[in-house]
Amino acid sequence: MSDNTENKNTVAQVEEEQYSLNDDRRVKVLSPGAMVTKRFLRNRIAVVGLIVLAFMFAFSFLGGILSPYGENQQFYRIDIQNKEYAGAVKNNELRYMAAPDQKFDSIIQAQVVLATQKHKDSFTYREIDYGVYEEGPDFYRVTLLESDTTIGIAYKDIVTPSVEGKTLQFEFVFNALKAYTNGEKSFSNEGTDFFIDDDGGVSTPEGEELAFISRYVIQTIVPGTFLSRTFQEELVAELEAGADKFVFTDTDGIEHEYTIDYKADVKNWVIRQATETRVYDTYAAPSREHWLGTDRNGMDMLTRLMYGGRVSLIIGFIVEAISTILGIIMGGLAGYFGKWVDNLIMRIVDIFYCIPSMPLLIILGAAMDAMNVDPKLRMVYLMLILGFLGWPGMARLIRGQILSLREQEFMTATEAGGIRVSRRIFKHLVPNVIPQIIVSVTMGIGGTIITEASLSFLGLGVKYPFASWGNIINDVNNTFVLQNYWFIWVPAGTLLLLTVLAWNLVGDGLRDAFDPKMKR
């Protein structure tokens, strides 16, 4: 029952509404803007373009914020490299040490060698007689015969201090070598007894090791490292055994691996250590940390792409803004005033049309390279130049439209109303051209992005450290990259293609939507 009455009520309401003149009952007329939007949204391809553009903006502007890495953050990897660590040589030549306050120069040293080779125990040089006493195998003491003072020693076994940075006194070396070469286990020096073990180690009675004696000279190549005695002894044992590998456990219990190379021509050994080196993680394959790998500088590719997109889009916008503003002013003036103003401006447009822009941009880019212009400043110059070269097209478009518009009645009305000329042009004429401007700008941004990318690809546009899709693809000039690292250049190229395509599709869709002749 109650249902029925309700129904009746609604019917009455509907009937009432049908004849009412309330605002919501008026025939729905779409505003021109809504009409264009509706027509645009009906064009599926253009909507796809719009979605792609929205994605690109999100990718470039939000992506940079969300990415955990910075634009120029470089990554490292640990690489194992065999670095030269030490050199070893078996000593077969006499070495010399002068006694304190004695002259034992190289001429006398040479004479000593001659004397030892002839097994003489004395020689004369410059009317001074020297004595050469063999104190042990390959160990000689040189004296002045006249006063019987020792001026130095010549030896082949080398005494090395066990403690870093300590120098050994002459007397100590002499006594130690004398004992060692003669196979004695102990000697005394300055009233203290020292002991020599089987391996040539010299120690105090308390067991403190002072030095060791060996026929091998082992020198470290890496600055700032000291080769301990045990290291040297173990190395010598390996060298004598003719091994090509050597594992040493240091005092902290860490094992180090070394490879030993014997160079026959110079009769020495080179000991290489496998060390871990930090290098830039260049051209790393895509992984969980770097979804698109890393580039030639070890930077995260995905992050570079995001920042590159930012640069490409911003440059596209600014360049189009510059050329559109210039184009509106010049085209508006030419179209409104006509006659000689129009003629002059259109001839300027002709001149600009005729300038070969790409070659000119290449020359300017190369010149900026030569002048080492700061990369940031360069980007500004690039935008200014591109913007300044781009206005004639816009000017021609606006001028053509305004030429016909200014003959219409509303312009006569503005004249009658006494509105200033600048207002007439920019408030009444130009807004009527806005659809064409929007379409031209949309398509223009795509074109600008390609130009910028092409220049950056040639290395003459946006420069390192700034990323741009063009200079990211630049790496493909390296044939090895082309063949092996698709992830360096394919994503950047795809993004570039998609972005330009999207701008063009949207521009195309807008052109159709703005077209009043469109039936749909």
Q: 172: closest CA among 159, 157, 182?
A: 159
Q: Which residue has the tokens 């030569």?
A: 370
Q: 455: closest CA among 324, 342, 360?
A: 360
Contacts of 363 (CB under 8 A, 6+ apart): none
Instruction: Give the separation between CA 448 and CA 323, rounded to whole angstroms.
Output: 11
Number of helices (H), then strands (E), belonging to the chain: the values are 17, 15
CB of 90 to another protein, least distance (A): 51
Q: Does 372 bind another protein (CB under 8 A)?
A: no
Q: Does 493 bind another protein (CB under 8 A)?
A: yes
b or e along 288-304 (b: 16 or more beta carbons within 10 Å of the residue's beta carbon)? eebebbbbbbbbbbbbb
Q: Which of 12, 325, 358, 384 binds another protein (CB under 8 A)?
A: 358
Q: Which of 33, 100, 356, 418 binds another protein (CB under 8 A)?
A: 356
- List the beta bridge partners of residue 213: 159
Q: Does 359 bind another protein (CB under 8 A)?
A: yes
Quick one: which segment of 89-97, 206-214, 299-307, 365-373 binds another protein (CB under 8 A)? 365-373
Quick one: which segment of 275-283, 317-325, 427-435, 494-502 binds another protein (CB under 8 A)? 494-502
Q: Are 492 and 457 in contact (CB under 8 A)?
A: no
CB of 511 to another protein, least distance (A): 10
Question: 399 to 458, contacts with another protein by CB under 8 A?
Answer: 446, 450, 453-454, 457-458
What the block records as the tokens of 66 is 């969300």
Question: 33 to 92, contacts with another protein by CB under 8 A?
Answer: 45
H-state helical runs in 338-465: 339-354, 357-370, 375-405, 409-416, 421-423, 430-457
Of 200 and 392, which CB lies nearer to another protein in the complex structure? 392
Of 62 and 367, which CB lies nearer to another protein in the complex structure? 367
Per this entry, what is the length of the chain?
A: 520
Question: 450 to 469, contacts with another protein by CB under 8 A?
Answer: 450, 453-454, 457-458, 460
Angle between helices 375-405 and 301-337 (to 10 degrees): 40
Of 66 and 367, which CB lies nearer to another protein in the complex structure? 367
Question: 323 to 352, contacts with another protein by CB under 8 A?
Answer: 347, 350-351
What the block records as the tokens of 266 is 């110079």
Instruction: Give the separation between CA 112 and CA 110, rounded to whole angstroms.
Output: 5
Report how many residues bind another protein under the rule CB under 8 A.
Answer: 43
CB of 386 to another protein, least distance (A): 15
CB of 473 to another protein, least distance (A): 6
Residue numbers of the site for another protein (CB under 8 A)?
45, 347, 350-351, 353-356, 358-360, 362-364, 366-367, 370-371, 446, 450, 453-454, 457-458, 460, 470, 473, 476, 479, 482-483, 486, 489-490, 493, 496-497, 500-501, 503-505, 508
